[in-house]
């Protein structure tokens, strides 16, 4: 019997990600969506409320935002969402169960604009390979950024993967539409008049 270390119904101790079993974590076998870099979890909260028949894991590395997000979600009493503080890149590459995610959301990943920092960017081939392995066939990865150059890199690395194909970013049947809830950074950047770049891909059902 595994020890349950969660300090609240929302917070997941990183140790629980070893040998992770989604059904055990959530107590049901509903589809699972992951959001990387939740910030204050405005998007995650509203999406979890809108889709009670889906499960959500939010991953946030910055302690301040992680604590804010976990507390916010606990106060809203949503039962289908969990938060964990780990490096999401490592989680996707090494811990996330293969063929288990219906959606991976990554909104405004850190762009690391200086050339000498590009190696810190999340969207690189090993991460994308692992993302594909974690998605169920037909599963989706949705990415949004305000950084034009990083966006071109993200597009390139996603669209050169043989198992990924581009789909419309807004697809109402999977709950993403033009009127979808916006992330905190998106609200701020749109207010400033910055351009927002979006891409969604799905894992092909067959190759």
Ligand X SMILES: C[S@@+](CC[C@H](N)C(=O)[O-])C[C@H]1O[C@@H](n2cnc3c(N)ncnc32)[C@H](O)[C@@H]1O
Binding region for ligand X (CB under 6 A)? 36-39, 59-62, 65, 87-89, 107-108, 110, 183-186
Question: Catalytic: 146?
Answer: no
Q: E strands, the chain, where?
A: 11-12, 32-36, 55-59, 81-84, 101-107, 135-145, 164-167, 197-203
Cβ 184 to ligand X shortest distance, Å: 4
Both tokens of residue 32? 């699972």
Nearest Cα neighbor of 140 from 182, 97, 169 is: 169
Q: Is the Cβ of residue 55 or residue 144 nearer to ligand X in the bound state?
A: 144
For residues 60, 10, 175, 128, the Cα torsion angle rounded to the nearest 10 degrees is 40
Cβ 64 to ligand X shortest distance, Å: 9
For residues 61, 63, 65, 69, the Cα torsion angle rounded to the nearest 10 degrees is 90
Nearest Cα neighbor of 161 from 203, 206, 102, 103 is: 203
Cβ 45 to ligand X shortest distance, Å: 12
Cβ 104 to ligand X shortest distance, Å: 13
Residue nearest ligand X, CB atom distance? 37
Q: Which of 87, 110, 129, 146 is catalytic?
A: 110
Give Cβ neighbours of residue 199 (< 8 Å, ≥ 6 apart).
142, 143, 144, 151, 154, 155, 158, 166, 169
Q: Which are the catalytic amino acids?
A: 110
């Amino acid at each position: 019997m595994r020890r349950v270390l969660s300090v609240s119904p929302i917070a997941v101790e990183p140790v629980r990600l070893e040998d992770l079993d989604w059904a055990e974590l959530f107590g049901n076998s509903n589809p699972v969506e992951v959001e990387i870099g939740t910030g204050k979890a405005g998007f995650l909260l509203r999406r979890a409320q809108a889709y009670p028949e889906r499960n959500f894991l939010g991953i946030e590395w910055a302690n301040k935002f992680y604590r804010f997000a976990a507390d916010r979600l606990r106060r809203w009493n949503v039962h289908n969402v969990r938060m964990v503080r780990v490096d999401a890149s490592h989680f996707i590459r090494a811990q996330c169960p293969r063929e288990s995610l219906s959606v991976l959301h990554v909104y405004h990943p850190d762009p690391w604009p200086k050339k000498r920092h590009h190696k810190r960017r999340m969207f690189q081939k090993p991460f994308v390979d692992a993302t594909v392995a974690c998605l169920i066939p037909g599963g989706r990865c949705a990415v949004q950024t305000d950084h034009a150059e990083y966006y071109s890199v993200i597009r390139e690395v996603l669209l050169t993967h043989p198992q990924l194909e581009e789909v419309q970013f807004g697809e109402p049947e999977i709950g993403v539409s033009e009127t979808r809830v916006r992330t905190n950074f998106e609200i701020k950047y749109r207010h400033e008049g910055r351009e927002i770049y979006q891409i969604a891909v799905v894992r092909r059902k067959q190759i």
